Structure 1
Amino acid sequence: MIKYFSIIQALCRSALTNPNDAILHQINRLIESLEKDGHGKEAKSLEGILSSSQSSADMSPSKIQKSFIVSGGEEITKKTAIPVDKETSTPLAEIFFPVDLPAEEPLFGENIELAIQSIVSEWTKFDKLLEIEATPASSCLIYGAPGTGKTHLAKWIAKQIGLPVVLARLEGLMSSYLGTTSRNIGNLFAFANRYKCVLLLDEFDAIAKLRNDPQEVGEVKRVVNTLLQSLDTRREKGFTIGVTNHESLLDPAIWRRFDIQIEIPKPSPEVMIHLLKKFVAPLEYNDSEIKFLAWCLEGSSGADAEMLAKWLKRSFVLDKRNSFIDMMKQFTLLNAGRVEPTKRNIMLHSDEEFINMLLNDKTYSFKQKDIAPFFGITPSSLSKQLSKSKDTEKI
């Protein structure tokens, strides 16, 4: 069963989107059985899913909307007119309703997940916070390397709050016409402030650059000032999320406008393994193979893990004759930027050095029995090959 534990996790998450007493009882039975059979890690994982589900129930959209600071705003419908650039008639934003937003929480490390839950849980304690003259955070900046799931996370947070998302990619607000960019920003915020929504500002660094950059013209500085003023007007109107891949380009004044600032790191080895197990389904790989895939992608993003999984599925359909290791060598040739250069060079030029690199890796702790099947040999044959190589070196 542990072989299919990632599928069991997915089933439990799906069932808990609309739980009842029978579902809760069966999941608790499963947890007890796992603990009894010595699978404590898996049991704790399901306990975490169950706990998150119960927290989400407490954070139901109806409860959050009841106390949401924008309770006086208008409801967005599919007929609501979206503001447009007056020069080009291009819409300034897209609308995503709660039903269209991702239901599955992005997979991050434990610390990041706890931080994310704390953001959403603030809205469940809205009334109690007001009693001590405090309010939930009204803005959040999410930054980190590309492909780490920032936009997905922003949409998931909005899903938990239970409000539509007004998504604006700030690159799309920029115009070559003098004054039009500032006007677009003003119109976007006026729209978001009028309605009950979460304003999601993607590609945030497109406009929010350092105002003291000597290469920037006065128009860009005026645009940044407009953005700062608009963020200030938004503070008492609703929740705003900014997303950027280039936080170093942000004006210091921009940082101060966000109550919460979360850096999303690239996946740790543990998180990468979980992501790969999720993405490769329904293909079946054993734990050693998944660990090897994670080793190949060390330092890469979650988006890279998804790309590798899609590539493996295509390879499985198009050419089943390739061995596991040959498929990964081919992937390395075709995806040079996704595999660390030293690993890539050794993988492609010397199986002996390749094997030694795996066995000497301290992060993943490969054993001979783990990697021998990759190369189509038995563990004993691999051991003899390594011993022979050592003897040759001594001579």
Structure 2
Amino acid sequence: MEVEGKTDELKDLEADFANLVLLAAAGSSEDLRLLLAKLVRKYRARRPDFAERINQALKSTQTRASGPSVLRRGPTAPEASPLPMDADSRLSLIRVFDDLAGLEAPLLTQGLLKQIQSIVRERRERDKLSAHGIRPTRSAILVGPPGVGKTLSARWIAAQIGKPLWILDLTTVMSSLLGKTGNNLRAVFDHARANEAVLLLDEIDAIAKRRSDESDVGELKRLVTAILQEVDAWPDTGLLLAATNHPELVDPALWRRFDVILTFEQSDPSTIEAAVRRFLGPDAPAYEPFLHLMASSMHGHSLSDVERAIASMRRDAVLNGVAPADLAVSLAAQHIDRLDKPAKLDLALQLARANGMSHNKIMALTGVSRDTIRKYAGPSPIKGRGRKKEG
């Protein structure tokens, strides 16, 4: 039996060698590198020394390649190497964000930003860690509701370590032919590993649902198992990220595969205010007296909601010549229904102190009584209707 096993392994090696020769003779350098990456994964467990020799050879050929490569840092990196495509539709399986020219740091809590900065530093100083026998963080899963900065954070991480971000495009990968979906996934992982990429599996819950979910057929459950194996085999040379809005749907086994869990929460008031200032761009100085007012009115909204609201407001200012004070009040009016009672009181007092509205109008907008507004903000400075006669 042992002799028979060795014979089968020899045949396997001969078949792999024959494929290498065919690709080399055809001059298919990209396909050749992809096959080498597959062989590294295939032999890592059975023949680790052999797999490492192949891996070193792969790195060497990528570094010395005369043409442009996705490993080379530059604005043309994403176009330099063909991305994996669906065989039937000929659509790319990967979407690319190339932010190598620069990207502002995401607006996050200090604790979360510190975690992300730590991952970036580990990637930059990978050799230093390796010299002490320490592996850098290979993978992280980003968890949180929509619009809190998960994708933007992934883009920023990639930019900080000099890589474009590759996002697995589930709309193209998923197929009614489930076996084909598995092939598409393997093509993406193989290509990403070969190029030491930063790969993001967005909406991971769509393809890594709990295997106990009785609504899924057996093939989908096998697909989840395949994803778990791919995550296990992910090398130190690349960074694998995943994102989900629905952590309760993700297979529990997947959580254990990721080195780090990054939890994104709804933004606090100070973060919302910083976002308003950033999204106002060069117009921020004109809105400085109303920044806190606008931020308060957007309390509880996602940063993407804030960005859309501010963009709409700026367009209104340019096209219709609306004054900043009026735009700030209009923004507050649009989102007043989502505020709780203390937040409405805070907003009412800000409006009163801004000296732009009568107490009557503030009461109509916020539901806070004139007596309460007067108690905390003093008499209305607006003459005429809305101001009680003094004395």
Global fold match (TM > 0.5): yes
TM score, norm. by length of structure 1: 0.67
Aligned 1:1-395 pairs, distance under 5 A: 74=62, 75-76=69-70, 77=77, 78-97=79-98, 99=100, 102-283=102-283, 284-320=285-321, 324-325=325-326, 328-329=329-330, 332-333=333-334, 339=335, 341-343=337-339, 358=344, 360-361=345-346, 366=349, 370-375=353-358, 381-382=379-380
Give the distance between the partners of 2:150 and 2:130, measured in 1 at CA: 30
Q: Shift of residue 95 of structure 1?
A: 3.7
For the residue of structure 1 that corresponds to 2:282, the secondary structure is: coil
Give the distance between the partners of 1:244 and 1:300, measured in 2 at CA: 19
Distance 1:115 1:342, change over 3 A: closer
Give the distance between the partners of 1:340 and 1:380, measured in 2 at CA: 22
Deviation per CA, 1:114-172, whole angstroms, max 9, x where unpaired? 12111111234434423442111001111211111211110111111112332212343
Distance 1:318 1:381, change over 3 A: farther
Tell me if the contact between 1:205 and 1:247 (Cα under 8 Å) persists in the aligned partners.
yes
Aligned-residue sequence identity (percent) comes to 30
For the residue of structure 2 that corresponds to 1:163, the secondary structure is: coil
Equivalent AA in structure 1 for residue 242 of structure 2:
G
Structure 1 gaps, min length 5: 1-67, 334-338, 347-355, 390-395
By relative contact order (CA 8 Å, sep 6+), the higher-ranking structure is 1
Tell me if the contact between 1:275 and 1:305 (Cα under 8 Å) persists in the aligned partners.
yes
Deviation per CA, 1:40-80, whole angstroms, max 9, x where unpaired? xxxxxxxxxxxxxxxxxxxxxxxxxxxx9x95573425242
Distance 1:224 1:368, change over 3 A: closer
Distance 1:72 1:382, change over 3 A: farther
Deviation per CA, 1:235-259, whole angstroms, max 9, x where unpaired? 3442111122222211111111110
Give the distance between the partners of 1:375 and 1:169, measured in 2 at CA: 52
For the residue of structure 1 that corresponds to 2:233, the secondary structure is: helix
Q: Shift of residue 306 of structure 1?
A: 0.8
Count of equivalent residues: 303
Deviation per CA, 1:264-298, whole angstroms, max 9, x where unpaired? 22221001111101111333444441111111110
Q: Shift of residue 380 of structure 1?
A: 5.7
Equivalent AA in structure 1 for residue 353 of structure 2:
D
For the residue of structure 1 that corresponds to 2:380, the secondary structure is: helix
Give the distance between the partners of 2:256 and 2:352, measured in 1 at CA: 53
Quick check: 319-328 or 219-228, which moved more? 319-328
Equivalent AA in structure 1 for residue 380 of structure 2:
L
Distance 1:80 1:312, change over 3 A: same
Tell me if the contact between 2:106 and 2:153 (Cα under 8 Å) persists in the aligned partners.
yes
Equivalent AA in structure 1 for residue 130 of structure 2:
L
Q: Counterpart of 1:15?
A: none
